[in-house]
Amino acid sequence: MNRVELVTIIAKAHALSKAEAGRILATTLEAITQSVKKDNPVILVGFGTFKQVSRPARAGFNPATRAKIKVPAAKLPKFTAGLAFKRAVDPKLAARLDKAKTGK
């Protein structure tokens, strides 16, 4: 699914124009981006968590020349899927979790 398809689904589900749905989606994504940029996680219960992680500087090498290089530290966005989302995507996981919960 791409952005246009998602906007179409939002527009149909809420009786909005595609332009309105597009603005709503843009606002949502901008709010998530700005929050994560400020190192504030965005937690959507059941769906997942968007957060910022820090990757330390490290030594690496150029695979073509085998020359050693320094890879600088970086701040990266990370998404961790929530349990309800994982269960929806993987029915086998849902069955394993249900089985573990009941002890059978």
pLDDT digits (tens, 9 = 90+) for 55-72: 999 999 999 999 999 999
Closest C-alpha to 9, from 21, 26, 27? 21
- With a pLDDT cut of 70, the percent of the chain lying above it is 98
Q: CB-side exposure of 68: number of CA atoms within 13 Å?
A: 2
The chain-wide mean pLDDT, for the chain, equals 94
CATH topology of domain 42-104: HU Protein; Chain A (4.10.520)
pLDDT tens digit sequence for 25-55:
999 999 999 999 999 999 999 999 999 999 9
